[in-house]
Copies of this chain bind each other. A is one copy, B any other.
């Protein structure tokens, strides 16, 4: 049993020396790291191109359909006067109608079933009924929200009309379908339309170009009725195969796609092998653990603790197994994308990215076979329970500060607007973010809130940076020293210890 136990905890090198067993698993893992990273990089470059095309298209739409977008500071913009509101609306309509003469890319209008060009939709939402008279502090309101729409066809030439004329045209349009913009009742106006385009550039990478259908909506948001109407453009892309394609070097394109799929298949196979090897090892470990338990109970008449049994389950194998599963899923999605059956680039990148992260972390497993390389892993492993317990306590205080900051400072401070932003802001503050800006943002918002923010920020920062971070360092330092003492291979005396591998169990 003892020799079996010793063999069980040997490194691949030692196993080879002891019984001549060749390190197949190690070889598979090294090949896997190279392959998975290569696959990730290939996918990354292709993914970047697709996302960039979408981002740039949305950027183009914003510049084409939003007036003076170049001078906006932000992706949303607000207008404050009636004249501006009508001008911005008219601009969007005008640009849609004149699109073919304006845009640098070739956009196609969508056609409906009868072959006619699809119109642009202008929809307004408003309270069903209501009159407001602030001077007399009186109002009548029916909070039921109604919606009314009107179509604008690109065929109607609004071309030569100046801004003022277009305003008239618009007002006329609204009148026709009883769509007067009663601003005190109006909740929002949405101008929506769809455009088609083709992402040609992929042809240079020997990939077949995709057809894109962009659903674009420009929103004029008057929900708050505060005299400020927010304007924004949203766009949603649907990627699909084009109907009629004719590429000069189509054979090359097909070949390149096929090679890529073969490569993906190879990575998948590799991961499957690695997965099988690891699960085999895991199952063996469990069996061996049961055997050992029987042996131990028999000889020493003492039950083996749960922690003792866990020693036999190698956490690294679990990590590698998860990484393999992620790679396989990612590769399947990748093949689906390449064969134009799916367009979920994000899901694929998350799976492949996470698996690569895990694969690289897994390299540490093989490093820790060389003595003294595993000090980081050992320290982190030993400190983990204390760290988790410690984080629970610190987390409570952190949560309390999050809630408190969100509710008190949220309305006045953009960094505390939502709960997750408050959390991000506090987390950043602990780690040395721009503190002065956070302090001064609250100036001039009322003395009480300012005073509270001062107390809040000074106590939070002092507590977390000075107290809690220091305790954290103390905790890790202590664990490290503990590990050092138990491990005979200290920094200065360099003799390797015969028992150091056992430490890993512990």
Q: Taking A56-B224, A57-B227, A107-B134 as contacts, is the C-beta distance between A449 and B399 under 8 angstroms?
A: no
A44-B410, A57-B226, A105-B227 known; A244 and B389 CB under 8 Å? no
Closest 9 CB pairs of A and B: A360-B400, A432-B432, A51-B411, A108-B134, A108-B135, A60-B227, A105-B227, A138-B244, A470-B476
The answer to whether B248 touches A141, judged by C-beta atoms less than 8 angstroms apart, is yes
Q: Is A180 an interface residue (CB 8 A)?
A: no
Q: Using a CB-CB cutoff of 8 Å, which residues 420-454 of chain A contact chain B?
A: 420-421, 424-425, 427-429, 431-436, 439-440, 444, 446, 448-449, 452, 454
- Known: A393-B364, A399-B360, A480-B475. Contact between A141 and B407, CB under 8 A? no
| Closest B residue, CB atoms, query A347 | B448
Report if A393-B376 is in contact (Cβ < 8 Å); known contacts: A248-B142, A421-B440: yes
Which residues from 127 to 156 on chain A have a C-beta closer than 8 Å to any C-beta of chain B?
Answer: 127-130, 132-144
B108 in contact with A249 (CB, 8 Å):
no
| Alpha-carbon gap, A363 to B53, bound state (A) | 50
Are A103 and B132 neighbours in the complex by a CB distance under 8 Å? no
CA distance A135 to B411 in the complex (A): 47
In the complex, what's the smallest C-beta–C-beta distance from A475 to chain B, in angstroms?
A: 7
Contact A367 B392 (CB under 8 A): yes
For A62, give the chain B residue with the smallest CB separation: B80
Question: Distance in Å from the Cβ of A504 to the closest Cβ of chain B?
Answer: 14
In chain A, residues 229-272, which have Cβ atoms closer than 8 Å to a Cβ of chain B? 229, 240, 242-249
Once the chains bind, are B200 and A225 in contact (CB under 8 Å)?
Answer: yes
Whether A137 touches B367, Cβ cut-off 8 Å, given contacts A433-B435, A477-B470, is no
12 contacts between A and B (CB under 8 A): A81-B102, A82-B104, A105-B225, A134-B197, A137-B196, A143-B248, A350-B408, A350-B448, A352-B407, A356-B403, A427-B435, A428-B435
Residues of B near A491 (CB, < 8 A) are: 382-383, 385-386, 475, 478-479, 482
Question: What's the Cα separation between A228 and B224 when bound, in Å?
Answer: 34
Instruction: Tell me whether A137 and B243 are in contact (CB under 8 A).
Output: yes
New A-B pairs, 11, CB < 8 Å, besides A129-B248, A138-B245: A48-B417, A81-B102, A143-B249, A349-B408, A356-B400, A356-B407, A357-B404, A373-B389, A434-B434, A473-B474, A473-B476
A461 on interface, CB distance cutoff 8 Å: yes
| A98-137 Cβ-contact flags toward B at 8 Å (1 or 0) | 0001111111111100000000000000011110111111
